[in-house]
């Protein structure tokens, strides 16, 4: 009796599950046959599922099976049935046209597709119909769909972005651009969306012909609607993307005058130009703002930034003349005399002190100027700390190592958890390295490897590796002491003496682990003086002779950079970037090297 009850229990509870499971099995079998392209077997199941379970759910695979098996009459029949059941779903007419197209009746397909477009009444019908045409690569019908939707839209939605996407796929760039520009005719508020859309097809990585098309169409709009300044703004944006800074500056000046912006846009662009090392254009931009007169809100800032950019332009070249420096000193003095010494001009005073100490050999004047600046009323704590770091650098440059260390330590203590405090800590550790206390220096550098600032962390890692590499095999600290002394001499601008000191290591300790460091330091000194060919030769020696040492990837990147931006040898640069990527995949330069390699190869980078 108990056994009978158990049997009845299983029949009662499991029978419904078997009933439920059977259709699921049919679906799985149908899907499996379909994926294996066994359409005749799949059709048997899909036909049953379509007729008995859910026409809407199984319509598409059922139709596809019929088409694959060339059962066109049957396919036409089920599509017409779907249209009858869902007359508002105009995309079904695309399916019907596809049946005719597959059965070699293109005229009938055209009739059905045109019929669908004529029936558009609302926005909800446009998108699925256009997408259906896009899936068949019938781009012209997709365009007709969106254009009809534009006319009939109850909400007056223009479908411009959608049309632009179709034109982009078609390769019709002029039409694509004009759709985006039409959006801006409607409202300036779409500017960010238009820029985002254009970013994928235009810019510094795009073909020059594409950029020229965009520029031409923008200029047409500007000429046609001079009061519609959004097109001039978009042109400036486009010129910035392709690094046509001269063109951007010209357009910015025109907009500044038209909209009476008092130089605000030009000031922003001048900063961008300087960041991209287009110092000459940045200088002209600041001069343009200065010419507006002393009553202009941006006058003082423009005067200060003009000097800072002039300074960067001279020192970045490495081949400046004494006359260049004297002219810059004169301009600093004139500007400071006019603007005065105050908290608002502190950054100008700090830069002038750096020029005096490190380029004009006037450290006494520089120290006096910085001490005066540090004592200025209303000076922010962070600006005061920056001036203290500059003062400490100058003290170190003059040989007053312990006073420099004291100043660095003051900043470190006051800003223990800030980036400037970490920078001060690094400079304290560097002094310990200069003076031969390598163990303590390395302990501090190891802490700084986790600094929030990537630049500080990388500097700490680099110096730590120099110390550990030099002492890894030979515990004799004498070669590293000489190298550290040369490093300090280079910091103090005693470059010839630094090179002589570096050469002495090779004479006293031939084949030492510091051999690649010596070459790299000498390359840096050559770069400092603008002797690029000499620097390149030294980098090349490191790559070929010390390929397994820690500075090989640094030398590769520096040499690739020289070839790309100074020697204009793009092929050689690409070859060197590729070599770095393949041979040193763990290098800190990998991300930037990959980006540059792809750019030189012609990849489209978004």
Q: Which of 148, 313, 458 lies closest to 140 in space, CA to CA? A: 148
Q: Which of 31, 38, 80, 22 lies closest to 55 in space, CA to CA? A: 80
pLDDT at 1: 41
How many CA within 13 A on the CB side of residue 385? Answer: 20
pLDDT at 256: 95
Cα–Cα distance for residue pair 68/42, rounded to 1 Å? 11
Please, are residues 130 and 167 in contact by the beta-carbon 8 Å criterion? no
Mean pLDDT across the stretch 259-273?
Answer: 96
The radius of gyration computed from the CA coordinates of the chain, to the nearest angstrom, equals: 36
Q: Which of 554, 550, 548 lies closest to 538 in space, CA to CA? A: 554
pLDDT at 334: 95
The single-letter DSSP state of residue 53 is T
More confident residue, 356 or 44: 356
Containing 124, the helix (H) or strand (E) segment is: helix 123-135
Please, are residues 120 and 126 in contact by the beta-carbon 8 Å criterion? yes
pLDDT at 319: 74
Percent of the residues in the chain that have a pLDDT greater than 90, as a whole number = 75
pLDDT reading at 351 higher than 90: yes
Burial 507-531 (b: 16+ CB within 10 A, else e): eebeebbbbbbbbbbbbbbbbeeeb
pLDDT reading at 406 higher than 90: yes
pLDDT at 119: 94
Q: How far is CA 563 from CA 365, 530, 574, 578, 584, in A?
A: 40, 14, 9, 13, 19
* 264 alpha-carbon distance from chain centroid: 25
Cα–Cα distance for residue pair 165/160, rounded to 1 Å? 9
Cα–Cα distance for residue pair 389/371, rounded to 1 Å? 12
Please, are residues 160 and 180 in contact by the beta-carbon 8 Å criterion? yes
pLDDT per residue over 454-479, tens digit each? 889 999 999 999 999 999 877 899 99
Burial 552-577 (b: 16+ CB within 10 A, else e): bbbbbbbbbbbbbeeeeeeeebbebb
Three-class secondary structure of residue 125 per DSSP:
helix
Mean pLDDT across the stretch 211-236?
Answer: 91
Say what the pTM is.
0.76
Cα–Cα distance for residue pair 430/288, rounded to 1 Å? 43
Mean pLDDT across the stretch 75-88?
Answer: 91
Please, are residues 236 and 256 in contact by the beta-carbon 8 Å criterion? no
Mean pLDDT across the stretch 366-384?
Answer: 97
With cut-offs at 50, 70 and 90, classify the pLDDT of residue 206. low
pLDDT per residue over 18-58, tens digit each? 433 344 588 888 888 888 888 888 888 888 888 887 788 88
Q: Kindly report the CATH class assigned to 518-606.
A: mainly alpha
Mean pLDDT across the stretch 72-80?
Answer: 92
pLDDT per residue over 585-601, tens digit each? 999 999 999 999 998 98
Cα–Cα distance for residue pair 20/177, rounded to 1 Å? 55
- Cα angle 413, 415, 420 (rounded to 5 degrees) comes to 115
Cα–Cα distance for residue pair 34/347, rounded to 1 Å? 72
Q: Which two tokens stand for residue 280?
A: 């000459």
Cα–Cα distance for residue pair 102/118, rounded to 1 Å? 23
pLDDT per residue over 462-521, tens digit each? 999 999 999 987 789 999 999 999 999 999 999 999 999 999 999 999 999 999 999 999
pLDDT at 34: 87
More confident residue, 605 or 139: 139
pLDDT at 604: 58
Q: Where are the domains of the chain?
A: 518-606
pLDDT reading at 83 higher than 80: yes
pLDDT at 512: 93
pLDDT reading at 387 higher than 80: yes
Window from 11-25, 364-378, 514-528 with minimum mean pLDDT: 11-25
pLDDT per residue over 110-132, tens digit each? 999 999 999 999 999 999 999 99
pLDDT per residue over 414-453, tens digit each? 999 899 999 999 999 999 999 999 999 999 999 998 888 8
């Amino acid at each position: 009796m108990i056994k009978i009850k158990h049997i009845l229990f299983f029949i009662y509870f499991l029978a419904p599950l078997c009933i439920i499971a059977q259709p699921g099995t049919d679906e799985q079998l149908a899907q499996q046959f379909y994926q294996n392209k066994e359409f005749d077997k799949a059709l048997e199941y899909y036909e049953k599922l379509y007729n008995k379970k859910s026409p809407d759910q199984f319509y598409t695979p059922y139709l596809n099976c019929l088409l694959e098996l060339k059962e066109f009459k049957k396919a036409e029949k089920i599509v017409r049935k779907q249209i009858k059941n869902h007359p508002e779903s105009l995309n079904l007419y695309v399916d019907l046209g596809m049946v005719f197209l597959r059965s070699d009746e293109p005229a009938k397909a055209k009739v059905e597709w045109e019929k669908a477009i004529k029936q558009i009444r609302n926005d909800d019908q446009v998108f699925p119909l256009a997408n259906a045409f896009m899936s068949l690569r019938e781009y012209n019908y997709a365009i007709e769909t969106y254009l009809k939707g534009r006319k009939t839209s109850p909400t007056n939605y223009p479908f411009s972005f959608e049309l632009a996407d179709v034109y982009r796929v078609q390769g019709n760039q002029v039409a694509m651009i004009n759709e985006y520009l039409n959006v801006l005719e409607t409202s300036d508020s779409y500017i960010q969306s238009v820029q985002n859309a254009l970013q994928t097809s235009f810019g510094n990585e795009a073909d020059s012909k594409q950029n020229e098309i965009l520029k031409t169409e923008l200029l047409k709009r500007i000429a046609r609607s001079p009061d519609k300044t959004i097109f001039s703004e978009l042109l400036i944006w486009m010129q910035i993307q392709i690094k046509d800074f001269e063109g951007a500056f010209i357009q910015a000046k025109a907009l500044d005058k038209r909209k009476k912006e008092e130089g605000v846009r030009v000031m922003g662009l001048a900063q961008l130009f300087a960041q991209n090392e287009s110092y000459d254009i940045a200088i002209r931009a600041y001069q343009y703002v200065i010419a507006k007169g002393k009553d202009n809100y941006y006058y003082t800032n423009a005067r200060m930034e003009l000097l800072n950019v002039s300074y960067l332009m001279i020192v970045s070249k490495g081949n400046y003349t004494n006359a260049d420096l004297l002219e810059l000193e004169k301009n600093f003095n004139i500007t400071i005399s006019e603007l005065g010494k105050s908290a608002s001009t502190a950054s100008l005073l700090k830069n002038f002190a750096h020029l005096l100490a490190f380029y004009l050999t006037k450290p006494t004047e520089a120290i006096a100027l910085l001490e005066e600046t540090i004592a200025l009323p209303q000076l922010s704590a962070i600006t005061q700390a920056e001036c203290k770091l500059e003062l400490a650098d100058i003290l170190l440059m003059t040989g007053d190592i312990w006073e420099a260390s004291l100043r660095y330590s003051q900043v470190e203590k006051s800003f223990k958890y800030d980036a400037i405090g970490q920078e001060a800590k690094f400079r304290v550790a560097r002094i310990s390295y200069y003076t031969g206390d390598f163990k303590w220096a390395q302990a501090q550098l190891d802490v700084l490897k986790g600094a929030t600032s990537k630049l500080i962390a990388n500097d700490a890692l680099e110096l730590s590796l120099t110390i550990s590499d030099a002492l890894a095999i030979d515990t004799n600290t004498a070669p590293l002491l000489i190298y550290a002394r040369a490093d300090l001499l280079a910091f103090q601008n005693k470059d010839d003496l630094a090179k002589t000191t570096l050469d002495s290591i090779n004479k006293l300790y031939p084949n030492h682990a510091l051999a690649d460091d010596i070459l790299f330091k000498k390359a840096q000194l050559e770069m400092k003086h603008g002797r690029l060919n000499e620097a390149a030769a030294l980098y090349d020696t490191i790559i070929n002779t010390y390929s397994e040492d820690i500075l090989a990837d640094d030398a590769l990147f520096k040499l690739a950079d020289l070839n790309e931006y100074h020697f204009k040898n793009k092929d050689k640069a690409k070859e060197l970037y590729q070599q770095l990527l393949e041979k040193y995949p763990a290098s800190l330069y990998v991300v930037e090297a990959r980006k540059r390699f792809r750019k030189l190869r012609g990849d489209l980078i978004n």
